[in-house]
Every structure is written in C-alpha cells, then in structure tokens.
Structure 1
Amino acid sequence: MPLEPDHLTPDEGLTWRSHLRVHALLSAGLARRLARDSGLSGADFEILAALATSPDGRMTSLRVRRTLVWEKSRLSHQVRRMEQRGLIVREPNPDDARSSLLALTPAGRATVEDAFAPYAQYVREHYLDLLTPEERDVLIKVSERVVAGLGSIDDA
C-alpha cells in the first residue's frame, strides 16, 4: 500500500483532507456572507460573537484569546482595527490592572445582532441541515474527544 505524500495512509489522508476542505469551504462561504450582509470579516464576527455571549458584553483579552484559540498578536491587531471602526473598546480591568477588558460598543452590539441571523442561516443550510441528528451527535462526540486530546492554547 503506497503512502500518501504526507506519510498518512490513503484512508487517513482522505479523512484529513476531507475535514480540511469542509472547514475551508464553510469558512470562506461564511466570510463572504458576513462581508456581504454586515460588512464584517470572519475575525470581526468571531470577536463580536464572543463578547455578545458574555452577560455584560465584556471579556478580558485573555479570555477572548483562549475562546477563539488565537495568538496574542493576532487578537491585538484585530482589536485595534475594530476599535478604529467603533465596534469595540478596551477598558481597564478593575480586577487586574495588568490586563484590559474588551467591550462591545452599541454599534458593535447592533452589528453582531444583525449578523447572527444570516450567519445561522448559512450554517444551517450548508452544514447542519445536511446531517441527520445521529450524525450531529457523532460529530459532537468526535470533536469533543479531539479537543480534549489537544489541550488548551496555553499548552502549545
């Protein structure tokens, strides 16, 4: 049995490449939909959505970074661009003077709230609706097992 160029068996290579292709196509489609419908990039939406899930629309930079599994520099650059557009602000962290809080502005909250419906529609139409409830359950279990095996961003 010949090995794949990446030293995976043909079945392993197909499994991995299929996963990468699904992720790339869904991400690209979502990015196009977000840009068209709300003027947001995928990165903008990820940060705004993370903040919107927090009860007061605020999170520490570290928590956002860990939630999104981003490098510190990537978050810093993205936050700066979003601040310039009035979507978020940095605030002093009353619990830790060494860190800051990221907070949604009213414009940021309105923008992400407007983006949620088309985002969800795209995810349903191009992913969730194509799966049976049983297939979704399997994907959840597999994803959770892989995530548990990978550890956290701080372990890398």
Structure 2
Amino acid sequence: MSTEHWNARESRAWRGLLDAQRLVRERVERELARETDLSPQDYTVLVALTEAPDGRLRPTDLAAAISWEKSRLSNHTVRMEKRGLVTREGCRDDGRGSVVAVTDAGRAAIRSAAPLHRAHVRKYFIDALTAEQQEALIDISASLIRHVTAAGRAEGRATADSP
C-alpha cells in the first residue's frame, strides 16, 4: 500500500465518486419516499427478499446481502413486520433458526415502488451519462470490485460480495 500523499486529480476522483454517489442516492431515495410509504431501508430489504427463492432469507444471509449489521436488520424488520411488509418465520431446514419472509403486502409495495425507483434512477443517473460513459462506469466498477475483493482475499477475509 502506498503511503504517498495524493495529488489533486486523485483527490478529485475520490471526492467526485463519493459526492456523486451520495447526491444521486439521496435524490432517488427522497423522491421514492415522497411517492410511496417505503423508506429507502424498506426498499432495500424488500428488493433482497423478492429476489430470493420463495421470498425468504435467513437473517444472516439477508444482512450480508444488503451489507447491514444483524442488529440493524433485526430492528428494522421488527418495524417492517408491524407494518405487514415482512414476517419472521421458523426455518424449514433448521428448527432453531428463523427466516425473514416478504408478505403479500410487501410484494405489492415493491411492485408499486419499483417502476418509480427505476424512473428516478433513469432521471438522475442514466440520463446524465452517455452510452460511452455508462460503459466506462461499468468497467470502472468492475475493476474496483475485483481490486477490493482481491485485497480482501489477500488479507484473509474475503468480502461478503466475493464469489
């Protein structure tokens, strides 16, 4: 690892990534929250559950899928359960374990919110970039993911997203 000071270009690249990601995410989340009854956190949980087989995931797997601590997930799913979006059930394969499952109401909420989410992502992200910039960003993202995953493996602790 280099301990050199970084130059202005490197600083602009890093800060630009952070600022752009934050601004786009905040705008998309704000618009979605205004138009639906879902918080950004609700949307994140529901997306992960609806993409899972049978709409169910063990809490540990769900936390890993969305990069949350188990306690944060537990607290949030309790709130979602009270609103009827998810339920906690016993695990079919392990009598001691549990799963978080999306309910019919949760599926309806995500079906309603997903087109709005896509429209906002398009408006604030996709439409701001040319096709060439999108391809460059795809390549840049893949390079960063490979680099960070390899670094994690080299340190003996692979990231949750590593294959």
TM-score (normalised: structure 2): 0.83
Deviates more, 1:145-154 or 1:78-87: 145-154
Instruction: Tell me the residue number matched to 2:76.
Output: 78
- Listed as ranges, the gaps of 5+ residues in structure 1 are 1-6
Instruction: Tell me the residue number matched to 2:140.
Output: 142
Instruction: Tell me the residue number matched to 1:3.
Output: none
CA displacement at 1:94 relative to structure 2:
1.5
Instruction: Tell me the residue number matched to 2:20.
Output: 22
CA displacement at 1:62 relative to structure 2:
2.0
Q: 1:135 to 1:84 in 2, by over 3 A?
A: same
Q: 1:154 to 1:21 in 2, by over 3 A?
A: closer
CA displacement at 1:154 relative to structure 2:
8.6
Q: Is the 8 A contact 1:61 1:99 kept in 2?
A: no
Distance 1:148 1:45 in 2: 27
- Listed as ranges, the gaps of 5+ residues in structure 2 are 150-158
- What do residues 106-128 of structure 1 show as CA deviations (whole Å, max 9, x unaligned)? 11111111000110000011111
CA displacement at 1:35 relative to structure 2:
1.3
Q: 1:154 to 1:141 in 2, by over 3 A?
A: closer
Q: Secondary structure at the match of 1:89?
A: strand
Q: Which amino acid aligns with 1:153?
A: A
Q: Secondary structure at the match of 2:33?
A: helix
Instruction: Tell me the residue number matched to 2:160.
Output: 153
Deviates more, 1:135-144 or 1:123-132: 135-144
Q: Secondary structure at the match of 2:101?
A: strand
TM-score (normalised: structure 1): 0.86
- Aligned-pair identity in percent equals 38
RMSD: 1.9
Deviates more, 1:92-101 or 1:104-113: 92-101
Deviates more, 1:33-42 or 1:146-155: 146-155
Instruction: Tell me the residue number matched to 2:152.
Output: none
Q: Is the 8 A contact 2:28 2:124 kept in 1?
A: no
**In the comparison of the two structures, how many residue pairs are matched?**
149
Q: Secondary structure at the match of 1:39?
A: coil
Q: 1:18 to 1:114 in 2, by over 3 A?
A: same
Equivalent runs, 1:88-107 vs 2, <5 Å: 88-107=86-105
Instruction: Tell me the residue number matched to 2:43.
Output: 45
Q: Which amino acid aligns with 2:110?
A: V
* Pairing partner for 2:33 from 32, 35, 41: 35
